[in-house]
Amino acid sequence: MAADIEADGDASSSAHRVHVPLEGRSYDILIGPRLLERAGALLAERFPGRRFGIVTDTEVARAQLPRLGASLDAAGIAHGTIVLPNGEATKSFSRLEEVVEGLLAARLERGDLVIALGGGVIGDLAGFAAAITRRGMDFIQMPTSLLAQVDSSVGGKTGINSPHGKNLVGAFHQPRLVLADLDTLDTLPPREFAAGYAEVVKYGLIDDEAFYFWLEANRRAIFEGGPERAEAVARCCAAKTRFVLADEKETGVRALLNLGHTFGHALEKITGYSGRLLHGEGVAIGMVMAHAFSARLGLAPGQDAERISRHLSAAGLPTRLGDIPGEIGGTDAIMDAIAQDKKVSRGALTFILTRGIGQAFIEKGVDPGAVRSFIEDQRHT
Amino acid sequence: MAADIEADGDASSSAHRVHVPLEGRSYDILIGPRLLERAGALLAERFPGRRFGIVTDTEVARAQLPRLGASLDAAGIAHGTIVLPNGEATKSFSRLEEVVEGLLAARLERGDLVIALGGGVIGDLAGFAAAITRRGMDFIQMPTSLLAQVDSSVGGKTGINSPHGKNLVGAFHQPRLVLADLDTLDTLPPREFAAGYAEVVKYGLIDDEAFYFWLEANRRAIFEGGPERAEAVARCCAAKTRFVLADEKETGVRALLNLGHTFGHALEKITGYSGRLLHGEGVAIGMVMAHAFSARLGLAPGQDAERISRHLSAAGLPTRLGDIPGEIGGTDAIMDAIAQDKKVSRGALTFILTRGIGQAFIEKGVDPGAVRSFIEDQRHT
Ligand SMILES: NC(=O)c1ccc[n+]([C@@H]2O[C@H](COP(=O)([O-])OP(=O)(O)OC[C@H]3O[C@@H](n4cnc5c(N)ncnc54)[C@H](O)[C@@H]3O)[C@@H](O)[C@H]2O)c1
Ligand SMILES: NC(=O)c1ccc[n+]([C@@H]2O[C@H](COP(=O)([O-])OP(=O)(O)OC[C@H]3O[C@@H](n4cnc5c(N)ncnc54)[C@H](O)[C@@H]3O)[C@@H](O)[C@H]2O)c1
């Protein structure tokens, strides 16, 4: 099967390979250790004669850029680098302009490539910049956060935030290659690792009960960096790829990937996209809420939300509104943020609900009143 | 044939219809009088229940928006309007942001539509804003300049300018409908009409000698607004459509539409995208230069450039570098602007050259030295 995991052909490595066979734009996701060291050779082979513009952030530049730079230099590959401040605020119009103008100033041509070296912020921003520079440059994802490796680097959604909400501006633009170097996770702050883990759990909750139970059993090993970590990342990439292949432009089933995200995005918004609540942390709370809300609607067993909450808490994640540090404001603010989310269609609320672990589904006609009274209750638990 | 011109089905009108049968995104171009008055009824029929965000500029808002607004109101269609300053400088990152945020502030959803009411500047900017808002909203072109009716509103190229060059940032995004109301041209400043006429002539020069001669014979009638004007616009739309169908993403033959544009863009750039030289005026000089340069390379008959120059001059267009008011700087500046043009590939210059009227072709390996010495000479004629 296309989105299944294979051992990478290169015998010198222990990498996994997930192939994404999109028509005319198929690409590989390579997952394994030491991929940044191999990047120079890989790019020289796959994109001979091209030039590269690296986009990264200050933290990743410090922790990981030297490895990539040395590898490109050793392969004699011309490249320039644009370094942006780290953090969600970088996904803005002004940073987009900065990257686009930087790529143009470097005189990169249409056949040259942009490399996104970083977490989801850099991947989304640099991918979007590639999509619109010269009406479409190729780009490569080199995800360095767990979240980016299991989620944002796969599937071609790119974009920036608006004062009106997250990811409201962007393009669908598929990368030409994804290199998920597991060694990069060694320098990732633990809180960021945990946030990425929320998205890992999401794949189990959506439609893979067995994977969810496997995660409960192997959580410690994944956090400690055993071979289970590589397996978890590869299984997530394969799962995400299946959704992308089924529905590239998110007109249908791909929306299941938003499990926990309607609540999560709203919480990120009201906390101002600040360090107060990371994306994955919002998703963790949102997933527990999605299960609790589904139970309240009589759709799902009541104990699932509790079970998932224990699992995520053990991983160091917040799971209730009360876990968010500081004031979060009133229910109105949350409802307003939900209504402005892009999954609103003609005034009705669309939510990903569930019948239980591994049984998520898309519900388009959710009653805003029911959401409001659920949130009211949640604010006091 | 798909891109041929048909009489519009509606017996109450004298409109032409050009169908653009792009797979999954086919659309109609309607060309005729009183289309803004019919817009309300047309949109209600084709896009029932949708909301519309109109993007336009100050001049067009004054001259044409009341007609459109009344028609939408009469049809009971909800709409908001964003009015921008007129002029090329509006194709900028900051105006792009303004339009995108304006569409989001109006809470337009993914199924709603953006209407670009204006010349090529508004069409390019609003189309690009639609392409990236919510990762892709539908849009409608209502071109009000001759240039926009015969060229920019057809084919899905959208974008903005960069300090590094024109149209270096953008997306391919096809409209859902094009309404080219010929009555709008009544308020277009004469100099703008002439500039659009340069693009009309271009279609003849590329591959339709008969159309070119027909234009020489009917130029006066076209400027005076007879039925020849409708015919000229419709023939241009059909011609452009044929190129777009053959090569949507401009990887091949569509580049022929850039006849006169490599020189033209360079001249626009060095004159600062100001009123000093309109886009079509740059193209007029550029087309004459392309013919003269081809003659100098021994490819084309020497007298064509002269003949075309007479035709364009009679239409009120500049045809030589010396016709540009004020100082244009040295040959270096022109060469630099040419080199940064997006039609540069791996350092070699790509030009549209010609073997004579109606016989343009793409030449990828043009020697920069030959271009330089040609420009040197042109600066003294
Ligand atoms: N495109 C998609 O499909 C998609 C899917 C999910 C999330 N997202 C987006 O992804 C973003 C979140 O991604 P994220 O969690 O990776 O955030 P991020 O990019 O901000 O990275 C988190 C933090 O970790 C740092 N960091 C990353 N890798 C590091 C490393 N190896 N060593 C040291 N520090 C490192 C970064 O500098 C940053 O401070 C959000 O903007 C979200 O909207 C996109
Ligand atoms: N997308 C494409 O394929 C494509 C092709 C060719 C040109 N273009 C772009 O088109 C732009 C030039 O288009 P343009 O010449 O229409 O410029 P424009 O949009 O600036 O319009 C020219 C002037 O005429 C005014 N105007 C337009 N219609 C009017 C009307 N009916 N009544 C009164 N005033 C009116 C405008 O306000 C403006 O001042 C350039 O930016 C060029 O890059 C794009």
Q: For B51-99, write each residue's pLDDT tens digit.
A: 999 999 999 999 999 999 999 999 999 999 999 999 989 999 999 999 9
Mean pLDDT of chain B: 92
| DSSP for residue A274 | S
> Averaged over A28-45, what is the pLDDT?
97
Distance CA B168, CA B76 (A): 39
Mean pLDDT of chain A: 93
Q: Which of A91, A220, A64 lies closest to A145 in space, CA to CA?
A: A64
pLDDT band at A4 (very low <50, low <70, confident <90, very high): low
Closest by Cβ to A164, choosing from B104, B249, B346: B104
Residues near A338 by beta carbon (within 8 Å), at least 6 away in sequence: A262, A263, A266, A349, A371
Determine the pLDDT at residue B344. 54
| DSSP for residue B90 | G
B305 has a pLDDT exceeding 90: yes
Helix (H) or strand (E) holding A218: helix A209-224
**Ligand 2 lined by B124 (C-beta under 6 Å):** yes
Closest by Cβ to A169, choosing from B109, B132, B159: B132
Distance CA B44, CA B126 (A): 21
Residues near B148 by beta carbon (within 8 Å), at least 6 away in sequence: B118, B119, B120, B122, B123, B141, B196
Give the residue on A whose Cα is nearest the Cα of B342. A134
- A340/B107 touch (CB, cutoff 8 Å), yes or no: yes
**B246 touches A at CB < 8 Å:** no
The full set of domain ranges for chain A reads: 5-187, 190-378
A105 has a pLDDT exceeding 90: yes
Give the residue on A whose Cα is nearest the Cα of B98. A93
Residues near B226 by beta carbon (within 8 Å), at least 6 away in sequence: none
Residues in chain A closer than 8 A to B165 (CB atoms):
104
pLDDT band at B341 (very low <50, low <70, confident <90, very high): low
Determine the pLDDT at residue B294. 98
- In this prediction the ipTM stands at 0.90
Distance CA B306, CA B308 (A): 6
pLDDT band at B7 (very low <50, low <70, confident <90, very high): low
**B78 touches A at CB < 8 Å:** no
- A101/B163 touch (CB, cutoff 8 Å), yes or no: yes
Helix (H) or strand (E) holding A229: helix A227-246
Q: From the CA of B243, which ligand is nearest?
A: 2
Active site residues per annotation of A: 135, 157, 199, 240, 250, 254, 258, 261, 265, 279
- Name residue, tokens 């980016």: A148
Q: Where are the beta strands (DSSP E) in chain A?
A: 5-7, 16-20, 27-32, 52-57, 79-84, 113-118, 138-143, 157-162, 165-172, 177-181, 349-354, 360-366
> Averaged over A103-132, what is the pLDDT?
96
> Averaged over B275-291, what is the pLDDT?
95
A12 has a pLDDT exceeding 50: no
Residues in chain B closer than 8 A to A93 (CB atoms):
93, 96-97, 100
Distance CA B251, CA A238 (A): 32
Distance CA B28, CA B10 (A): 14
Q: State the burial class of residue A298 (Cβ atoms within 10 Å of its Cβ: 0-12, 13-18, 19+).
A: exposed
A227 has a pLDDT exceeding 70: yes
* Two structure tokens written together for B351: 């030009």
> Averaged over A46-51, what is the pLDDT?
95
Residue A372 backbone class (left: φ over 0; alpha: ψ -120 to 50; beta: rest): alpha
Q: Write down the H helix ranges in chain B.
A: 35-46, 58-63, 65-74, 93-105, 120-132, 146-147, 190-207, 209-224, 227-246, 261-270, 279-296, 303-314, 331-340, 368-378
Helix (H) or strand (E) holding A44: helix A35-46
Q: Which of A139, A140, A147 lies closest to A110 in space, CA to CA?
A: A139
Q: Which of B287, B299, B294 lies closest to B263 in space, CA to CA?
A: B287
**Ligand 2 lined by B152 (C-beta under 6 Å):** yes
pLDDT band at A255 (very low <50, low <70, confident <90, very high): very high
Specify the ligand 2 atom closest to the Cα of B166. Answer: 43
Distance CA B290, CA B284 (A): 10
Report which protein residue has its CA nearest ligand 2's atom 2.
B152
B2 has a pLDDT exceeding 50: no
Determine the pLDDT at residue A24. 84
Count of C-beta atoms within a 10 Å radius of residue B14: 15
Give the CATH number of domain A5-187.
3.40.50.1970
Count of C-beta atoms within a 10 Å radius of residue B85: 11
**A135 touches B at CB < 8 Å:** yes
Asked if A376 and A333 touch (Cβ cutoff 8 Å), the reply is no
Sign for the CA dihedral angle at A264, A269, A270, A273 comes to positive
Fold of the domain spanning A190-378: Dehydroquinate synthase-like, alpha domain (1.20.1090)
For residue A283, the Cα-to-chain-centroid distance in whole angstroms is 11
A75 has a pLDDT exceeding 70: yes
Give the residue on A whose Cα is nearest the Cα of B336. A107
Q: How far is CA A106 from CA A79, A99, A103, A113, A114, in A?
A: 9, 10, 5, 12, 11
pLDDT band at A148 (very low <50, low <70, confident <90, very high): very high
- A164/B101 touch (CB, cutoff 8 Å), yes or no: yes
| Through-space distance between the first and last CA atoms of chain A, rounded to whole angstroms | 45
Distance CA B343, CA A65 (A): 32
Q: State the burial class of residue B251 (Cβ atoms within 10 Å of its Cβ: 0-12, 13-18, 19+).
A: exposed
**Ligand 2 lined by B63 (C-beta under 6 Å):** yes
Residues in chain B closer than 8 A to A174 (CB atoms):
none
Indicate the length of chain B as a whole number: 381
Asked if A42 and A31 touch (Cβ cutoff 8 Å), the reply is no
Bigger pLDDT: B250 vs A197: A197
**Rounded CA Rg of chain B:** 20
For residue A159, the Cα-to-chain-centroid distance in whole angstroms is 12
Measured from CB, residues less than 6 Å from any atom of ligand 1 are A 57, 59-60, 63-64, 86-88, 91, 118-122, 124, 144-145, 147-148, 151-152, 155, 157, 166-167, 184, 187-188, 192, 195, 279-280
For B126-148, letters b (16+ CB in 10 Å) and e give bbbbbbbbbbbbbbbbbbbbbbb
* Two structure tokens written together for A296: 């309240």
A2 has a pLDDT exceeding 50: no
Q: What tens digit of pLDDT does each residue of B187-216 get?
A: 999 999 999 999 999 999 999 999 999 999
Residue A115 assigned ligand-binding role? no
Q: Which of B156, B125, B211 lies closest to B29 in space, CA to CA?
A: B156
**A171 touches B at CB < 8 Å:** yes
Asked if B336 and B330 touch (Cβ cutoff 8 Å), the reply is no
Q: What tens digit of pLDDT does each residue of A269-319 get?
A: 899 877 899 999 999 999 999 999 999 999 999 999 999 999 999 999 999
Determine the pLDDT at residue B81. 98
Determine the pLDDT at residue A6. 67
* Three-state SS at A350: strand
> Averaged over B133-156, what is the pLDDT?
97
For residue B222, the Cα-to-chain-centroid distance in whole angstroms is 18
Q: Which of B229, B184, B241, B138 lies closest to B35 in space, CA to CA?
A: B184
CA distance A218 to chain B (A): 37
Among A132, A138, A167, A350, which would you mutate to test the B interface (most chain B Cβ atoms within 10 Å of its Cβ)?
A132
Helix (H) or strand (E) holding B166: strand B165-172
**Ligand 2 center to residue B95 CA distance, Å?**
16
**Ligand 1 center to residue A228 CA distance, Å?**
22
B149 has a pLDDT exceeding 50: yes
**Active-site residue B240, yes or no?**
yes
- B136/A100 touch (CB, cutoff 8 Å), yes or no: no
**Active-site residue B250, yes or no?**
yes
Asked if B156 and B240 touch (Cβ cutoff 8 Å), the reply is no
- B154 phi/psi in degrees, rounded to 5: -105, 130
- A342/B107 touch (CB, cutoff 8 Å), yes or no: no
Asked if A65 and B127 touch (Cβ cutoff 8 Å), the reply is no
**Ligand 2 lined by B167 (C-beta under 6 Å):** yes
Determine the pLDDT at residue A321. 95
A61 has a pLDDT exceeding 90: yes
Mean pLDDT lowest among A322-326, A338-342, B208-212, B294-298: A338-342
Distance CA B230, CA A295 (A): 64
Greatest mean pLDDT among B10-14, B110-114, B117-121 lies in B117-121
pTM above 0.90, yes or no: yes
- B342/A100 touch (CB, cutoff 8 Å), yes or no: no
